[in-house]
Structure formats: structure tokens, C-alpha cells
Amino acid sequence: DAGVIQSPRHEVTEMGQEVTLRCKPISGHNSLFWYRQTMMRGLELLIYFNNNVPIDDSGMPEDRFSAKMPNASFSTLKIQPSEPRDSAVYFCASSLEEPPSGYISKQGQGNTEAFFGQGTRLTVV
């Protein structure tokens, strides 16, 4: 598997424009995360999907941000309109939750580690 694939790798846009970031998770993974990394705030979880359903979007900064996962192999994070303070590196990650959420055995079953894409560096000028 090629790993988590994000596109574009770099994006420079003008303030007010719409930006769409794309992510292809690892095949077979059922959880997908979008993170934002800045010097000031570190790695922040924006939204988390499980089986294509948004489970927790409490980290999404404001209504200008939206995320979708129309199928198991694709997700988008959209910013409209973009602002300079949105400049950051945006990471997508995927993992496999098995067995169902809420269970870890002593043998260590449960959620696997999250594999990260290479990130999209967004600059809003």
C-alpha cells in the first residue's frame, strides 16, 4: 500500500479563496483524522471519521471549515473563505479500529496506530 496520500503537497492561495485539501486513506482502514499543525498550537485534531461518518468535529475552528468523507477511500477538508491565520500544515491520518470501539483486550487488540500522510502546507496570503 502507498500509505496515506494527501494532495496537494503545497498550496498558496489568496485570502478569501476556497481551498480544498484531499486525502486518500490506507485501504482497509476505517478511521480517518484531519489534523492541523502550527508553531503556536502544535498538532490539533480537527475532525475524526469512523466508517465514513463524522464522529467528532469539535476541533473544527469555525464554520469556514468543513470536511466530508463520501466513501472509504476519500476525504476532503475545505476552507471557505480562507484567511491568513489558516496557514499551517494539514495532516490526514488513518487507522484501523478493531474490534469495535470501546474494547481493548489485555493482548492489545483495539485501535492500531494512526498512519499519517505527508501533509499539505497551506499558505494564505
Partner 1 sequence: AQKVTQAQTEISVVEKEDVTLDCVYETRDTTYYLFWYKQPPSGELVFLIRRNSFDEQNEISGRYSWNFQKSTSSFNFTITASQVVDSAVYFCALIWMDSSYKLIFGSGTRLLVRP
Task: Kindly list the residues in this chain that would bind partner 1 in the complex (CB under 8 A).
Answer: 31, 33, 42-43, 45, 48, 50, 55-56, 89, 91, 93, 95, 97, 101-102, 104-106, 108, 110-119, 121
- Closest contact distance (angstroms) between CB of 16 and partner 1 is 27
Kindly tell me which of 15 and 55 has the beta carbon lying closer to partner 1. 55
Torsion angle defined by CA atoms of residues 76, 81, 87 and 92, in that order, rounded to the nearest 10 degrees: -10
Rank residues 13 and 118 by Cβ distance to partner 1 and give the closer one: 118
Rounded CA gap, 72 and 51, in Å? 7
Question: Among 70, 27, 64, 30, which residue's Cα sits nearest to residue 46?
Answer: 64
